[in-house]
Chain A
Amino acid sequence: MTNNTQNGFFKLTKFEFTAIAIIMISPLLFSWSMYFQGLLIIVMLWIILGLSWNLMAGYTGQVSFGHAAFFGIGAYAAALPYFHWRISPWWGLITGPIVAVAFGYFLGKLVFKLKGPYFALGTLASGEILRIIFGEEELITNGHNGIFYMTTWTSKLPYFYIAAALAIFSILIIRKIIQSKLGFYFLSIREDQDAAEALGIDTVKYKNLSLAISAAMAGVAGAFYMIYMGFIDPEVVFALHNISIITILVGIIGGVGTIWGPAVGAIVMIFIQELFRSSLFGLGPEWLSRLHSLVFGALVVLIILYMAGGIVGDWPIIANKIKSWKNKTEGQS
């Protein structure tokens, strides 16, 4: 994982190849259950969103609390042409990122003047403002009634492979960016913005670029959400907690500033939530199902306290601990 600094776009390490192979086979393993296939699609969506946030926050140091803004704009870019002119939402996969980037450009003009906590609050407010506006302007957006669309296929498999392709493509793009000069510019901005500027890096330009890529990815995720779910309303796609905050938590759990972090975070989050929602897959008592978000929240608190780098970021430490623990138990027996 570490010695791949000069890899080409499609050249994969062994680890990455296995990961992608597992992703490709996984829905077939669960072919008996639409429910599990649905979960896998949601995991892919969260991977894209997590990656998108991670590029901006983890690599460029601009912690966004309003990623729902891009997600929702992408979703509405797919939904509104359908609502008004019956144009297929599938076009949203192209228009979604474009509109999200355009919005990101104007948002960037406003919020990149701000630093640290101000930036976080600025992005948070922008997402909330969009949520309220999209809810109120009923003539344009159909307000809280939302927009409904008959999904193209009843089977989940095609959706899964499209989502997986988007997710893998996003991972490859991020990897490429991070290994290129651009990635180092981003990192330098994260580490010390003033120093980066002093070295002649146009920080405003690169922050905008980071925002644009991030917005495009979130926009794609939003458009795909519309296509897959067939229903959106502002409270769902612009949700402060369920989208913006969970995106951040996915990034933190997996590992901020790591390529595979968001993927791991998304899998862990969905796994834990579903494990508890189904009361340990029907084995545990019923009341466990009410704890699903609580356990996830507690995990986040513990990870921030004890594993600041997240699962992927602190993997060397975790691996060491497991090793020494194994040695200990072997020595005792």
Chain B
Amino acid sequence: METFLQTLASGILIGGLYAIIGIGMTLIMGVLNIINLAHGQILMISMYITWVLWHYFGIDPYMSIFITIPTVFLIAEGISKYFLHPLIDKDSILPENQVLMTVGIGMVIMELARTIFTSDFKSISPTTTLRGEKIDIPGYLQNSIHIANISISIPLLIAFSISIFLTLGLFLFLTKTDKGRSVRATAQDKGAAALMGISTAKITILTYGIGSALDAAAGSLLLPIYYLYPDVGPIFTVKAFVITILGGLGSTVGAIFGGLILGLAETFGATYISMGYKDAVGLIIFLLVLVFFPGGLKRFTKV
């Protein structure tokens, strides 16, 4: 029973973090109508920024969110504006041209990281030196709290809380602001949105930025609990599209539940089946949903 509760707790916590990765992907999916196969690599950019900020400047990983979000937002705007958007009017044999472009961009990002940081594994080191001065990592990053016999790691808890906070912020943005409403309108019907006077081109580019910014937040939150190397991107790209399909394409509420389900499936798979099958569990659920339950959770949530 303890194992069960322990697994449940960590599943939900990691699921919350997965949820914001998934929401970013699903936003992009809804508005741009493409699978962003560079999603994990964009998350990796944020992880590397966070790592550099800690390693060379001694900035707390959670504080670096304030730097990674705007930086990645700008990078993603650039990608979207100069690489993805021009493809809309281009004639090509395969309609998946933009998806293939994200593959190419993902590869470039990954290889850039490999060139700059080499293929070494990196993680938040317990201490770093800044101008000859030793800085210890904030204590809470290494501790965990115990409720009954369940231990909950504090970094995971913080990640979960910030994820919820960001999700709420996104919902406020999408429902209460003009820009947010335009994003939703564009996702629903591009043509109609354009007729209502929304500049769909601008909204499309903006959405890619917002989706990537959420991704960036997830990257900063992930670094204290994960390790970092240039090939980390594809792992999270796969997770992101599993969540997106589970939740239903373009459904933000669905993506939250999709993230939680994936987190739970992974942790339960790791505990009760085998550690090695952890990643397969998500993929198998994904294939089953795709084939037998198309539309995913969107069928229930309707948003």
Q: Check A201 for interface membership: any CB of B closer than 8 A.
A: no
Q: Check A249 for interface membership: any CB of B closer than 8 A.
A: yes
Q: How far is the CA of A46 from the CA of B70 in the complex (A)?
A: 41
Q: Check A248 for interface membership: any CB of B closer than 8 A.
A: yes
Q: How far is the CA of A53 from the CA of B216 in the complex (A)?
A: 34
CB distance from B265 to the nearest CB of A (A): 14
Which of B83, B114, B286 has a CB less than 8 Å from the CB of A301? B83
B contact residues around A126 at 8 Å (CB): 287
Whether the pair B283, A309 counts as a contact (CB closer than 8 A) is: no
Q: Which residue of A lies closest to B119 (CB)?
A: A290
Within 8 A of B (CB), among A279-333: 290-291, 293-294, 296-298, 300-301, 304-305, 308-309, 313
Q: How far is the CA of A264 from the CA of B114 in the complex (A)?
A: 27
Q: How far is the CA of A180 from the CA of B104 in the complex (A)?
A: 34
Which of A63, A122, A249, A256 has a CB less than 8 Å from the CB of B290? A122
Main secondary structure of the interface of B (DSSP, over half): helix
Q: Check B93 for interface membership: any CB of A closer than 8 A.
A: yes
Q: Which residue of B lies closest to A109 (CB)?
A: B291
Q: Which residue of B lies closest to A127 (CB)?
A: B283
Contact indicator per residue, chain B 247-277, by CB within 8 Å of chain A (1) or not (0)? 0000000000000000000000000001011
Q: Which residue of B lies closest to A132 (CB)?
A: B280
Residues of B within 8 A of A (CB): 34-35, 83, 86-87, 90-97, 99-101, 103-105, 107-108, 110-112, 114-115, 231, 234, 238, 241-242, 245, 274, 276-277, 279-280, 283-284, 286-287, 290-291, 294
Q: Check A77 for interface membership: any CB of B closer than 8 A.
A: no
Q: Which of B90, B91, B100, B294 has the most CB of A within 10 A?
A: B100
Which of B101, B111, B277 has a CB less than 8 Å from the CB of A294? B111
Whether the pair B105, A117 counts as a contact (CB closer than 8 A) is: no
Q: What are 7 sample pairs from A and B whose C-beta atoms fall under 8 A apart?
A: A58-B94, A63-B94, A110-B287, A110-B291, A294-B115, A301-B105, A309-B92
Which of A116, A122, A313 has a CB less than 8 Å from the CB of B95? A116
Give the A-B pair count, Cβ closer than 8 A: 125
Whether the pair A132, B290 counts as a contact (CB closer than 8 A) is: no
A121-B290, A125-B283, A125-B286 known; A305 and B111 CB under 8 Å?
A: no
Q: Which of B93, B97, B245 has the most CB of A within 10 A?
A: B93
Q: Check A44 for interface membership: any CB of B closer than 8 A.
A: no
Q: How many residues of A contact B (CB 8 A)?
A: 46
A contact residues around B94 at 8 Å (CB): 57-58, 61, 63, 256
Q: How far is the CA of A298 from the CA of B86 in the complex (A)?
A: 16
Q: How far is the CA of A171 from the CA of B75 in the complex (A)?
A: 42
Q: Check A73 for interface membership: any CB of B closer than 8 A.
A: no
Q: Check A181 for interface membership: any CB of B closer than 8 A.
A: no
Q: Check A129 for interface membership: any CB of B closer than 8 A.
A: yes
Q: How far is the CA of A129 from the CA of B277 in the complex (A)?
A: 9
B contact residues around A256 at 8 Å (CB): 92-94
Q: Which residue of B lies closest to A300 (CB)?
A: B104
Whether the pair A245, B115 counts as a contact (CB closer than 8 A) is: no
B contact residues around A121 at 8 Å (CB): 35, 241, 245, 286, 290
Within 8 A of B (CB), among A245-268: 245, 248-249, 252, 256-257
B contact residues around A252 at 8 Å (CB): 100
A110-B291, A121-B35, A132-B277 known; A297 and B93 CB under 8 Å?
A: no
A contact residues around B83 at 8 Å (CB): 301, 305
Q: Which residue of A lies closest to B115 (CB)?
A: A290
CB distance from A118 to the nearest CB of B (A): 6
CB distance from B205 to the nearest CB of A (A): 16
Which of B90, B91, B103, B111 has a CB less than 8 Å from the CB of A248? B103
With A116-B95, A122-B287 known, 7 other A-B pairs at CB within 8 A are A118-B245, A121-B245, A252-B100, A293-B107, A293-B110, A301-B101, A308-B91
Contact indicator per residue, chain A 112-125, by CB within 8 Å of chain B (1) or not (0)? 01101110111011
Whether the pair A129, B104 counts as a contact (CB closer than 8 A) is: no
